[in-house]
Each structure stands twice: as C-alpha cells, then as structure tokens.
C-alpha cells in the first residue's frame, strides 16, 4: 500500500506540474499575440530594404564625440566641459544609397543655441546604411566613414579676421564650425543651394592661420528597432 500511494502522489505531482506549464505557456502565447509580430525582430537581423531606427555618436578627426543621441555620452561630455550636439534617433533604409549629395540631421547645441542642420556627405550616409546589414536589435557597432577627398581646409589669419574670429583665441584641438553647400554651382548665382553645418577640429596652428580637419572617421551606432521591408 505504501508503494502504491507513493506512485499515486508522484503521478499527481507530475500532473500538477504539467498543468502549471501549460497555463504558463498559454499566458505567454496570449502576451505574444497581443504584441503582434514586432517581438520577432528581437531575433532577426537587418536585411536590405528594412527600415531601421538607430542611436548614434559621431566622432571628429581627433576622436572627440561631437554629435550623439546617447544621453550617457552627452552628459559625460558636457560634464567634462566639452561642447557637443544632441540629436534624435535616425530612421534609414538598410543598404539603400541616398541620391542627395548631403544628408541633413537636426542637431541641438549643448549651450541651448538654435537648432542646426548637420550635413553628412552621401558617402558617409551610405556607409552607415550598408554597415547595419546583419545587425540585431540593441547590437552596437563602430562603422568607419569614408572621405572621398581631403577634408582639411586652411583658414588664414586674414580670413579669420574677416569672419570676426581672433587667431589668438584658437587652440589646436578646438572645434571649428563651417557651412557646406549641397550645390557648389550656386556660387555663380544661377541656382539656389542649402547650407549645412559641418563641425571640424583644429589640426594645426601657426602665425599665418589654422588648418581644420572636417572629416568624421567613425560613427558608433546601436540598432533600436527593425521594420522588415
């Protein structure tokens, strides 16, 4: 009788466990069904044509973060006394090149100034668009950004003075702002153009002027969401 009762108790215990498991599975399926198919993107990777939302941080030639959507990076840079622009997340199509020569991103200076439109060249945007292929939600990656031509520009002391900038106030490593146009032919006056902000780093300085490097060697990105194309 003792052995028989133990078997019955064991059978009842197994039955209770199975019932609990079935109930938990049912609840889980109900939750997932309420979420639709969006939860599946957690396990999928970015493919060509997908619409992808990313967080990002752009670095200048000296390795300083100059634009970011990441609050921790923004707060840390400001706490160090350095200038930085905040931005919102970018939505882009994976592995799709842009037809525009310059891709515009709204950025917000840490000093509370006016919103600016940062200009990324098409080659830089395309590098990000192709670089996110294969990434998953919350995955992070550092993507090198190409420079089709040299991005170093010389500013003479005279030119700086004309722009009301004192050469003595500038140091190597400082950030330097310049406007770039999406239509160089507009200088002739025959066509219109839009101007965008480009943030450079003072690479060298002499009595004659400064050299500014406006290249962005890399960008750190993190995939926030994937909408399958």
Confidence of residue 25 (pLDDT cuts 50, 70, 90): low
Predicted local confidence at residue 205, as pLDDT: 96
| For the chain, percent of residues with pLDDT exceeding 70 | 77
Residues near 37 by Cβ (< 8 Å), separated by ≥ 6?
none
| For the chain, percent of residues with pLDDT exceeding 90 | 66
Please, how many CA atoms are within 13 Å of residue 209, restricted to the half-sphere of its CB? 13
Phi, then psi, of 62 in degrees rounded to 5: -90, 0
The position carrying tokens 């938990």 is 24
Determine if residue 24 is left, alpha or beta; phi over 0 gives left, psi from -120 to 50 gives alpha, anything else beta: alpha
The predicted model gives 184-195 an average pLDDT of 66
Mean pLDDT of the residues in the chain: 84
The predicted model gives 4-17 an average pLDDT of 52
Predicted local confidence at residue 42, as pLDDT: 57
Predicted local confidence at residue 99, as pLDDT: 87
pLDDT in tens, 48-107: 999 999 999 999 999 999 999 999 999 999 999 888 999 999 999 999 999 899 999 999
**pLDDT reading at 28 higher than 90:** no
Residues near 215 by Cβ (< 8 Å), separated by ≥ 6?
60, 61, 145, 147, 151, 152, 200
The predicted model gives 142-152 an average pLDDT of 86
The predicted model gives 137-165 an average pLDDT of 91
**pTM greater than the 0.75 cutoff:** yes
Q: How far apart are CA 192 and CA 176, in angstroms?
A: 25
Under CATH, which architecture does the 45-148+216-227 domain have?
Answer: Roll (3.10)
pLDDT in tens, 209-228: 999 999 999 999 999 999 98
Residues near 58 by Cβ (< 8 Å), separated by ≥ 6?
65, 66, 67, 68, 216, 219
**pLDDT reading at 20 higher than 50:** no
Torsion of the alpha carbons at 78, 82, 85 and 90, rounded to the nearest 10: -80
The per-residue b/e assignment along 45-77, b for 16 or more CB within 10 angstroms, e otherwise, is bbeeebebbbbbbbbbbbebbbbbbbeebbeeb
Domain boundaries, the chain: 45-148+216-227, 152-186+193-213
């Amino acid at each position: 009788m003792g052995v028989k009762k133990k078997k019955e108790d064991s059978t009842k215990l197994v039955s209770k466990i199975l019932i609990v498991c079935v109930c938990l599975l049912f609840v889980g399926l109900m939750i997932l069904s309420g979420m639709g198919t969006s939860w599946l993107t957690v396990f999928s990777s970015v493919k060509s044509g997908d619409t992808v939302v990313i967080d990002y941080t752009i670095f200048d030639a000296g390795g300083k973060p100059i634009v970011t959507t990441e609050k921790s990076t923004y707060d840390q840079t400001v706490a160090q006394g350095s200038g930085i622009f905040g931005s919102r997340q970018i939505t882009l199509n994976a592995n799709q090149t842009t037809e525009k020569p310059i891709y515009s991103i709204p950025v917000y200076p840490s000093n509370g100034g006016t919103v600016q439109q940062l200009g990324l060249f098409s080659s830089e945007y395309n590098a990000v668009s192709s670089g996110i292929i294969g990434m998953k939600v919350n995955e992070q990656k550092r993507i090198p950004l190409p420079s089709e031509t040299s991005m170093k520009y010389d500013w003479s002391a005279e030119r700086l003075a004309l722009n009301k900038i004192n050469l003595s106030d500038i140091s190597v490593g400082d950030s330097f702002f310049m406007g770039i146009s999406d239509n160089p032919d507009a200088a002739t006056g025959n066509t219109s153009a839009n101007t965008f902000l480009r943030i450079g780093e003072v690479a060298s300085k002499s009595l004659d002027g400064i050299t500014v490097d406006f290249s962005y060697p890399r960008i750190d990105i993190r995939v926030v969401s994937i909408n399958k194309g």
